[in-house]
């Protein structure tokens, strides 16, 4: 338990659970650094700070943890002191929200990260009007929206997903951050680190260190891609792809070592504002065949480039400009953990009230050994969607593809050469 027993500082912003469900969005394989630290409380690193989030029916509550050296006790940005044991669902703060540490506005960071300016209920209604299957499935899965992540963190996180499952991915990224990222603080005996910089991942001994951390063949892809991004784009170059048209941004990503079509589309959708990007792997392909009766790619038995292109085009025609968001809803609903219990963690009243005891202050501590055990969330079970490690792509956009999440029983993963994608993918 971290030191300090005073009342915790909480802030909030208006957000209906129909617009955002933390227990779905933070567990569905978009981001890998959030964990349910206690019932209904989600703790993770965002914008170089450690946050704890929870929600009630009408509000998203947040606390930003600070290192102890920055004050007589660890601070947390919010609106008012929350009395110990109070229920934020009934507490009505009156003071305006203060700025988050570092001069950034905490509420704006959250609005940007969860893209709260996008009206999700309206999109659900439009998708349901066009697609009866979506309407049926989405009725039990409101509030699934796409995160707007840092492009560097998103890219290198998804490089860890090839031929992998959620628990191991979470552990790999945690070890990556502990070994290469700046130490932030310790909360309830758990250390938190910022995501590594490009310069750290491109270091001369980065590949060797990554292999020692259990990254295997992915160590080369991480190291070489970091070097390539610095060489081709500069430290802030990936952010510039947000203003680049989707086909070009996707082509440039596919030129990086280890980046295949699915990883590129994940980054385009979840970090580069390409709402039309539809990440396709065998899991999505199964949904298309099972629920939409699609047989694409002239009977192909794996996700070839042709299948990827045709399936993405099908969903773009069906759902429109935010096709990637609609696909995220169906993918989330198809995950085993949510099929069994779609109404997880947070109940109608938002779960137990946060207290200073459950959300204690941060205390700097030496970083744990980077080669330690996987640190996984309690919900990190099952198989995450993945794709086989692709061959390095050339700038022409030609690349090879493999299989992904779960392959149909009896089918083998094949990597097939294919021509450059034509048109908008």
222 contacts 209 by C-beta, under 8 angstroms: no
What is the distance between the alpha carbons of residues 323 and 313, in angstroms, rounded to a whole number? 10
178 contacts 370 by C-beta, under 8 angstroms: yes
What is the distance between the alpha carbons of residues 190 and 235, in angstroms, rounded to a whole number? 30
DSSP one-letter code for 181: S
What is the distance between the alpha carbons of residues 229 and 255, in angstroms, rounded to a whole number? 10
Catalytic residue IDs? 262
Nearest residue to 260 via CA among 148, 386, 146: 386
How many CB atoms within 10 Å of residue 324?
Answer: 24
What is the distance between the alpha carbons of residues 166 and 233, in angstroms, rounded to a whole number? 30
- Return the axis-axis angle of helices 323-334 and 120-130, rounded to nearest 10°: 80
Reduced to 3 states, what is the DSSP secondary structure of residue 195?
A: coil
- Return the axis-axis angle of helices 151-158 and 261-271, rounded to nearest 10°: 150
H or E element at residue 284: helix 282-292
In the numeric block, the tokens 């055990």 are attached to 373
Question: Sign (positive/negative) of CA torsion 295, 300, 302, 307?
Answer: negative
367 contacts 150 by C-beta, under 8 angstroms: no
H or E element at residue 59: strand 59-65
Phi and psi at residue 175, to the nearest 5°? -65, -40
Q: To the nearest 10°, the Cα dihedral for 304, 307, 310, 313?
A: -90
């Amino acid at each position: 338990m971290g030191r300090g027993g005073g009342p915790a500082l909480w802030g909030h912003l208006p957000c209906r659970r129909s617009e955002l469900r933390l227990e779905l969005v933070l567990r569905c394989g978009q981001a890998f650094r959030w964990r349910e630290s206690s019932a209904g409380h989600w703790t993770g690193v965002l914008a170089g700070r450690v946050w704890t989030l929870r929600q009630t029916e009408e509000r998203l509550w947040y606390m930003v943890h600070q290192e102890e050296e920055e004050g007589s006790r660890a601070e947390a940005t919010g609106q008012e002191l929350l009395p110990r044991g109070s229920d934020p669902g009934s507490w009505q703060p009156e003071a305006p929200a203060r700025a988050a540490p570092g001069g950034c506005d905490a509420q704006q960071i959250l609005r940007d990260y969860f893209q709260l300016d996008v009206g999700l209920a309206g999109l659900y209604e439009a998708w349901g009007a066009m697609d009866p299957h979506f309407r049926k499935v989405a009725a039990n899965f409101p509030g699934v929206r796409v995160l707007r992540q840092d492009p560097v963190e998103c890219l290198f996180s998804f490089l860890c997903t090839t031929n992998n499952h959620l628990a191991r991915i979470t552990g790999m990224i945690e070890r990556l951050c502990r070994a290469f990222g700046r130490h932030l603080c310790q909360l309830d005996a758990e250390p938190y680190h910022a995501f590594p910089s490009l310069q750290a991942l491109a270091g001369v001994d980065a590949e060797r260190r990554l292999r020692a951390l259990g990254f295997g063949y992915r160590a080369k892809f991480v190291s070489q891609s970091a070097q390539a991004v610095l060489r081709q784009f500069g430290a802030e170059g990936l952010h510039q792809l947000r203003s680049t048209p989707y086909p070009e941004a996707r082509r440039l990503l596919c030129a990086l070592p280890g980046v295949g079509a699915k990883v590129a589309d994940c980054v385009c959708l979840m970090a580069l504002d390409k709402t039309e990007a539809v990440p396709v792997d065998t899991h999505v392909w199964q949904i298309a065949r099972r629920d939409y009766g699609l047989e694409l790619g002239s009977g192909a038995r794996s996700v070839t480039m042709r299948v990827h292109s045709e399936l993405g085009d099908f969903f773009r025609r069906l759902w429109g400009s935010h096709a990637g968001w609609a696909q995220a809803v169906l993918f989330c609903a198809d995950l085993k953990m949510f099929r069994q219990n779609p109404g997880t963690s947070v109940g109608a009243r938002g779960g137990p009230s946060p207290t200073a005891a459950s959300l204690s202050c941060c205390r700097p501590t030496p970083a744990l050994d980077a080669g330690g055990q996987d640190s996984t969330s309690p919900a990190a079970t099952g198989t995450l969607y993945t794709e086989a490690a692709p061959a390095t792509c050339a700038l022409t956009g030609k690349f090879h593809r493999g299989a992904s999440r779960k392959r149909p029983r009896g089918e083998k993963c094949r990597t097939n050469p294919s021509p450059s994608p034509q048109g908008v993918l």
